[in-house]
Chain A
Amino acid sequence: MIFYHFFSNPWAVFALKLAAVFIFFLTAPLFLGYVEHKGLAHMQSRLGPMEAGKFHGWAQLIADGVKFIQKEDIVPDAADRRIFMLAPMIVIIPVSLVFLVIPFGPAAVSCHAPAGAGACGFWGENFDVGIFFVLAISAISVIGMLMAGWASANKFSLIGAIRGAAQLIAYELPLVLAASAVAMQAGTLSLVGIGDAQKAYWFVFPQIARFIIFVIASLAELSRPPFDMPIADSEIIFGHMTEYTGIRFGLFLLSEYAGIVSLSAIAVVLYLGAWHGFFVPWIPGPIWTLAKIGALSFLVIWLRATYPRLREDQLQKMAWKYLIPIALVNILLTMIFKVVF
């Protein structure tokens, strides 16, 4: 009975959801980081972390986090102090907000929320403009990147930031176009709605091209290899993060891995059928979602181990000459199918 009262209070439920999302935001990137350490190591015939936590170095990322917290927070003399210190927050807040709207499961059958049935389920918040919210909010991160690069008073940082901005401007377009084709097909911008619309078939199957475009553009947005020119460590040290130390650097890294998880989650919801499984229907939806997010995140790591970095001009050429035209044709095809059938 007390549970009933508790869960019928929308504020209590919202606080609970917020806490859950926050915990997921903090733990999922750590887990992914560990998987990357180990996966990347084994793909290079190494063992990766083996010491921290005794069993196969499972506590390595926790140890890293503790290290980042302990380190001195250095601000370069010539740096623009306030902007330098603000930049990591600007990068990480949008990434964390994306987690708020990822739907992990279908809407609950019985719901006591004042908004009525279908308003509660495994998600933080069901926005009417869900996918649009994700795209808008993730575009803010690049401002943090530019701030970091400019405020560091370091030429490598600035080059990294400018590369990052150029990359983001180029790849935001195919990302939005690929996502909007899906929104068109589903007839809604809500992520929960898009998930529901894939009951019959996953959106990846009719037009695999846009899924590939979305994944490529996501990689570029996250500046993950093979699109890691903004942080290209062999050319410009670590791009906009060159001058950062301690917890601020840790925040940048956390936002990178959180970004992988969140964009994988969005790709799962948009293309890979969200919580809809196959063959084994008795497995609950949230587990399907998590499994798919894991698989896609692993693909991101796998790509990092396999492909060399593209050159800056190849990157731009790829976006403007191939991805955007293909995405536009895709939208056209989606429109035609939508009208005809």
Chain B
Amino acid sequence: MDPQATEGAVVSWPAVFVAIFGAVAAISAVAVVLSRNVVHAALSLVVVLGAAGAIFLVLGAEFVGWTQILIYVGAIVVLLLFGLMLTAAPIGKHALDNQQRGVAFITSAAVFGVFTFIIWRSFGSQRIHLNQVVRTSDIGRSLFSGYILPFEVVSVLLLAALVGAIVLAKKD
């Protein structure tokens, strides 16, 4: 994956920016976990998601990058913050520590392993050229031709979630 190792050329700008944004995302992710203030943690999450969006942008996936920002930063984290501020947000080490370090470590290690494995298997030795921007129309075409079934499954899932939320919210 290291362009220098395989090509022996100068480091490309996208690679540098991916490294920077990746580092920002990683540091902020650690801050999410270590923060003693839930609201600070949620704001760090904004940075993580924003950096992820920035990585997409650097890699030429404009639509995906902005979707990341619109959906995650603009909607999900806002909802999260909204919920935190509406309820009494717990502050302090003891209030936020649920004493499950072991389980948490195993889970995160497993997720990391699975993702690494999948990415390695898919793109392991493949070289990806970033010389052209992914057009939105291409994404639309592939979404509605090759991936129509997953797309519909996801929308049914969201519909189910919506119906469930209404059922929970309605008292009678």
Interface residues of A (CB under 8 A from B): 80, 83, 127-129, 132-133, 135-137, 139-140, 142-143, 146-147, 149-150, 158, 161-162, 165-166, 168-169, 172, 189
Given A129-B66, A139-B74, 9 extra CB contacts under 8 A: A83-B43, A128-B62, A128-B136, A136-B69, A139-B75, A147-B43, A149-B85, A158-B85, A169-B78
The 10 closest A-B pairs by CB, nearest first: A139-B74, A136-B70, A136-B66, A136-B69, A165-B82, A146-B81, A129-B62, A132-B66, A129-B63, A133-B66
Are A162 and B74 touching (Cβ within 8 A)? no
B residues 82-133 near A (Cβ < 8 Å) are 82, 85-86, 133
Bound complex: CA A158 to CA B87 (Å):
12
Bound complex: CA A135 to CA B86 (Å):
26
Given contacts A136-B69, A169-B82, contact A142 B74 (CB under 8 A): yes
From residue B121, how far is it (CB to closest CB) to chain A in Å?
A: 30
Smallest CB-CB separation from A138: which chain B residue?
B74
B residues 33-61 near A (Cβ < 8 Å) are 37, 39-40, 43, 46
Q: Does B155 contact A (CB under 8 A)?
A: no
In the complex, which residues of chain B have a beta carbon less than 8 angstroms from the beta carbon of A127? 62
Are B63 and A132 touching (Cβ within 8 A)? yes
Interface residues of B (CB under 8 A from A): 37, 39-40, 43, 46, 62-63, 66-67, 69-70, 73-75, 77-79, 81-82, 85-86, 133, 135-136
Contacting A172 at CB < 8 Å: which of B39, B74, B135?
B74
In the complex, which residues of chain B have a beta carbon less than 8 angstroms from the beta carbon of A162? 82, 85-86
Are B82 and A139 touching (Cβ within 8 A)? no
Smallest CB-CB separation from B81: which chain A residue?
A146
In the complex, which residues of chain B have a beta carbon less than 8 angstroms from the beta carbon of A132? 63, 66-67, 70, 136
Contacting B81 at CB < 8 Å: which of A137, A165, A172?
A165
Bound complex: CA A158 to CA B81 (Å):
11
Smallest CB-CB separation from A146: which chain B residue?
B81
Listed A/B pairs (5) with beta-carbon separation below 8 Å: A129-B66, A139-B75, A146-B85, A150-B85, A165-B82
Are B82 and A143 touching (Cβ within 8 A)? no
In the complex, which residues of chain B have a beta carbon less than 8 angstroms from the beta carbon of A142? 74, 78
Are B69 and A137 touching (Cβ within 8 A)? yes
Are A129 and B82 touching (Cβ within 8 A)? no
In the complex, which residues of chain B have a beta carbon less than 8 angstroms from the beta carbon of A83? 39-40, 43
In the complex, which residues of chain B have a beta carbon less than 8 angstroms from the beta carbon of A169? 75, 78-79, 82
Contacting B46 at CB < 8 Å: which of A128, A143, A161, A166?
A143
Are A140 and B73 touching (Cβ within 8 A)? yes
Given contacts A128-B135, A162-B85, A165-B81, contact A139 B46 (CB under 8 A): no
Bound complex: CA A100 to CA B151 (Å):
33
Bound complex: CA A135 to CA B133 (Å):
20
In the complex, which residues of chain B have a beta carbon less than 8 angstroms from the beta carbon of A128? 62-63, 133, 135-136
In the complex, which residues of chain B have a beta carbon less than 8 angstroms from the beta carbon of A146? 78, 81-82, 85
Indicate the member of A137, A140, A162 with the most B CB atoms within 10 Å.
Answer: A140
Bound complex: CA A172 to CA B81 (Å):
16
Bound complex: CA A158 to CA B84 (Å):
11
In the complex, which residues of chain A have a beta carbon less than 8 angstroms from the beta carbon of B85? 146, 149-150, 158, 161-162, 165
Smallest CB-CB separation from A147: which chain B residue?
B43
Smallest CB-CB separation from A139: which chain B residue?
B74
